Amino acid sequence: MSDTFKALVLTQEDGKTVSTIRELGNDDLPDGDVLLAVEYSSLNYKDGLAITGKGKIVRQWPLVPGIDLAGRVLESSSGDYAPGDRVILTGWGVGEKYWGGYSQRQRVQSKWLVPLPAGLESRQAMAIGTAGFTAMLCVMTLEEAGVTPDKGSILVTGASGGVGSIAVAILAKLGYQVTAVSGKDDAGEFLRQLGAGEILTRDEMSQAARPLEGQRWAGAIDTVGSTTLARVLAETNYGGCVAACGLAGGADLPTTVMPFILRNVSLRGVDSVMCPVERRKLAWQRLVNDLPAKALGEIGQVASLEQLPDLAEKITTGGVRGRVIVDLNA
């Protein structure tokens, strides 16, 4: 095993975020009870904000970003994991407060890890990544609210992004009618291949809504927030549920209580960062079973550490379709 390894490191210089590829050693890594050989990570919207400095994501400097990773245990003082075990890490503030996945090695807390499920490889796990994990949590939330395929169409906003595209594929596999919303003019064929039956434009769904509009959706998965989420709520059927997991369009919510008190609509928040371990394990097993393997081929592109600064800029401006898998050995 080499004494050094590559990592993307963020520093702050004159109030600006600077990203550099550095050679590090094990002694440079933070404290933790498990040392990992990181095989793959992924690029998420939050990672893009961290690398570009556009969002207040980074909470300590210097920082190795990357909010998820998959790899192999090299050393462990934890009774839960042994050298050679393959694991996944998403959330827990990794890539924000703690050093994350954009490093060929990383030292982490064992309580943050889940075993890589049987039937899944590290590369596939990061094609799914935090985005796919979040999408599965959203689908589970709709199911738990009683939204079944016979109830009507499910709307997915931000559907050409990481969370949205995987949500479309899972819902279609489970037999739901899916309507996808995208701001990308060329995303129609991509979304239809994933299983969307209808495509709506971002402009249509981001228009300011009245407190109640015509009922259209049995349920929805929203990654956008703001006026889009307000319109989704106003158009949700009586007794329907909206799972909200993102704020790409803004953190505000210009709505009223009308959908909730007159149509019995429920708005449920979905958090993937602090999600309990047992629910994490269930979601990953569901992904093995319910995400079509062919969807990952449609969704993923592979990048190296060196390509991440450019891709980070693109993902924050809507220039990335689907998932970006980061190969730490490329």
The CATH number of residue 190's host domain is 3.40.50.720
Taking the C-alpha atoms of residue 126 and residue 43, their distance in angstroms, rounded to an integer, is 9
Taking the C-alpha atoms of residue 58 and residue 179, their distance in angstroms, rounded to an integer, is 35
Q: Which residues contact 328 (CB under 8 A, 6 or more apart)?
A: 6, 38, 39, 40, 41, 71, 101, 102, 103, 104, 305
Report yes or no on 31 lying in a domain.
yes
Same domain, 180 and 104: no
Same domain, 111 and 140: no
Taking the C-alpha atoms of residue 56 and residue 50, their distance in angstroms, rounded to an integer, is 7
Same domain, 111 and 154: no
Q: What is the three-state SS of 27-44?
A: HHCCCCCEEEEEEEEEEC
Report yes or no on 291 lying in a domain.
no
The CATH number for 319's domain is 3.90.180.10
Same domain, 181 and 90: no
Same domain, 170 and 240: yes
Same domain, 257 and 310: no
Report yes or no on 219 lying in a domain.
yes
pLDDT tens digits, residue range 247-299?
989 999 999 999 999 999 999 999 999 999 999 999 999 999 999 887 776 66
Report yes or no on 281 lying in a domain.
no
Give which of 327, 298, 289 is closest to 311, Cα–Cα.
327
Report yes or no on 287 lying in a domain.
no
Same domain, 143 and 223: yes
Identify the segments of the chain with pLDDT beneath 70. 1, 297-300
325 and 195 in contact (C-beta within 8 Å)?
A: no
pLDDT of residue 137: 98
Domain total in the chain = 2
pLDDT of residue 199: 96
Under DSSP, is residue 123 helix (H, G, I), strand (E, B) or coil? helix
Q: What is the pTM of this model?
A: 0.90
Integer Rg of the chain from CA? 20
Q: Which amino acid is at 325?
A: I
